[in-house]
A = this chain, B = another copy of it.
Amino acid sequence: MSSSPDLPHPERSEISLTTVLFALSDPERLAIARQLVDGPLDMAECHLSNPDVPKSTKSHLMKVLRTAGVVRNEANGRARRLSLRREDLDARFPGLLDAVLSAEKDSANS
């Protein structure tokens, strides 16, 4: 009874500012992060702006967020539980996540 793949995550000390900024610089990825502010979600509950994108594409978006250290991705039955790495990010880059996530979500905010 092996389990779903244990994906690699950077340690807190390995999280790079520019990599985090890059991960959040895509509107779709930023929107995902915003969906996680109120707590973890299973992947199927994270919605993309276009509901028709293939699962491989969605998986890749998650990978960018995960390898940047923005999100944790853990096995949860046959699903995947996604959560914001809030404590790690707050410790490493104080105020950054708050600033990004609380920014107005208007049009020019893509």
| Interface residues of A, Cβ cutoff 8 Å to B | 13-19, 21-22, 24-27, 30, 92-96, 98-100, 102-104, 108-110
Q: Which of A25, A95, A104 has the most CB of B within 10 A?
A: A25
> What are 19 of the A-B contact pairs (CB < 8 Å)?
A13-B108, A16-B108, A16-B110, A17-B30, A17-B109, A17-B110, A18-B24, A18-B25, A18-B110, A19-B25, A21-B22, A21-B30, A22-B22, A22-B25, A92-B104, A93-B103, A94-B102, A95-B99, A96-B100
A103 lies within 8 A of B96 (CB): yes
B100 lies within 8 A of A98 (CB): no
Contact of A21 among B16, B95, B100, B104 (CB under 8 A): B100
